[in-house]
Amino acid sequence: MSAMGSIQQRNLRYLALVFFLLTASSPAAGVQIRLTGSGSTQCSGRVEIYHNNTWGTVCDDSWDLNDAKVVCRQLGCGGALNATQSAHFGQGTGQIWLDEVACSGSERSLTECRHGGFGSHNCNHSGSVVIA
């Protein structure tokens, strides 16, 4: 192997290691969230989170603009304009993953915010969170 090939191979290993460390150390790594529902767009809709290989909803108990800011930032949508409640984009179905979400507004991911724990809730799908 040439000296140039050895350097390129070493650089690729270094980049792969840096990528792995950044991905593994990031609390937002692997956390998927989406906005969906009737009339939703890329940056407005019912908030759903992917956990344990299943999409589920977020309850609107205690939901406010700080929580919406985190979701908008996580999705690359800029600042949040509104933190609508009561299933404005239609009720979700299936699992309700988060309830009593309390973000300060500076978190990088919704899962960094305080909440009652995945799957622990006292609401129904009529209380699905939406942002607009």
Q: Where are the domains of the chain?
A: 1-29, 31-131
Q: In which element (H, E) is residue 32 found?
A: strand 32-41
pLDDT of residue 75: 92
CB 56 within 8 A of CB 94: yes
- CA distances 23 to 26, 55, 62, Å, are 5, 22, 30
Collapsing DSSP to helix, strand or coil, 15 comes out as: helix
Alpha helix ranges (H) inside 56-124? 65-74
pLDDT given at position 27: 40
Q: Please tell me the pTM assigned to this model.
A: 0.68
Task: Look up residue 114 and give its DSSP letter.
Answer: B
**Residue 47 contacts residue 58 (beta carbons within 8 Å):** yes
CATH fold, domain 31-131, is: Mac-2 Binding Protein (3.10.250)
How remote is the C-alpha of 14 from its chain's centroid? Answer: 29
Q: How far is CA 4 from CA 1, 7, 10, in A?
A: 8, 5, 10
Which residues of the chain register pLDDT less than 50?
4-29, 130-132
